[in-house]
Amino acid sequence: MQQSPSLVKVPGPIDSELIPSLLTLSDVFPTGHHAAVSAGVGPDTTVVVVGDGAVGLCAVLASARLGAPRIIAMSRHADRAALAREFGATDIVAERGAEGIAAVRDLLGGDLADAALECVGTDVAMEQALGSVRGGGRVGFVGVPAGGSQVPIGTLFSRNITIGGGMAPARRYIPELLGDVLAGTVNPGMVFTQTFALDDIAAAYEAMSNRTAIKSLVLP
C-alpha cells in the first residue's frame, strides 16, 4: 500500500523517551518554528518572544535552532522562564506594556529587537510584539484573537514593520524538524510538564487552563 503524501514515517525503533518530542511535531513545535521563520529569524537576529505557553517556548527553541544569538522571552512565571532559558533564551522580561518595551530597550542598549514573535493570539500580545521591534523590523504571528483583530496598518506603515505568519503548515516543517528530534539536538517534548491517563483527559485540560501544566501529555 502506497504511503499517503500527507504522512511522515518515523523510522523505528524509537526510544520511548523521544515520544513527547515527536508528539510536538504535530502542533506546537512547527507552530513556534513558523513564527520564527515568518519573522526571518537567523544567525544575525535579536528576537523577542511574546508568550510563554507551549507555542511561545517552542518559538524560543526554534529561534535558538535557527541561530539567533539573543533571544528575549517575555514570561512572568518562574517555571516557564526556566524552561525558556533551557530552550535558549538569553534574557527574561517579566514586565508588560510600556514597562516591557523599556526593559527590552534596556537589555539592548537603547535599541529594540530585529524580530518579535507573537505566540499568544490577543490584541495585547500583538501590541507588545509591535512595540518591542525596531523600525524596519519583522513580526511573526501564529495566534489570532477569537473575536478577530484589527492589524494597525498605520503603525506598520509609519515604522516600516513587516508582519507575516498565520496558521502553521506543520506538515511542511516536520521533515526538517524530525531529524533534530531523532538526533536529540532539540527536546521540545519538555513542554509536557504533566502526564494523564486517557480517562482523566478533563483533568489534563483543566491543568492547562489553570496554568499548572504548560502542556498535558495524555497516554492511553
Q: Which has the closest alpha carbon to 59: 83, 97, 30, 85?
A: 30
Amino acid in the structure at residue 132:
S
Query: Residue 145 phi/psi, 5° resolution?
Result: -60, 145
Q: Is the peptide bond before 30 cis (omega within 30 degrees of 0)?
A: no
- Predicted confidence at residue 5, as pLDDT, reads 60
Strand partners, 50: 74, 118
Residue 91, classified by CB atoms within 10 Å of its CB into exposed (0-12), middle (13-18) or buried (19+), is middle
Which residues of the chain fall short of a pLDDT of 50?
Answer: 1-3
Domains along the chain?
23-165 (3.40.50.720)
- Predicted confidence at residue 151, as pLDDT, reads 81
- Predicted confidence at residue 2, as pLDDT, reads 47
Amino acid in the structure at residue 13:
P
- What pLDDT digit, counting tens, does each position of 74-111 carry? 999 999 999 999 999 999 999 999 999 999 999 999 99
Query: Residue 111 phi/psi, 5° resolution?
Result: -100, 175
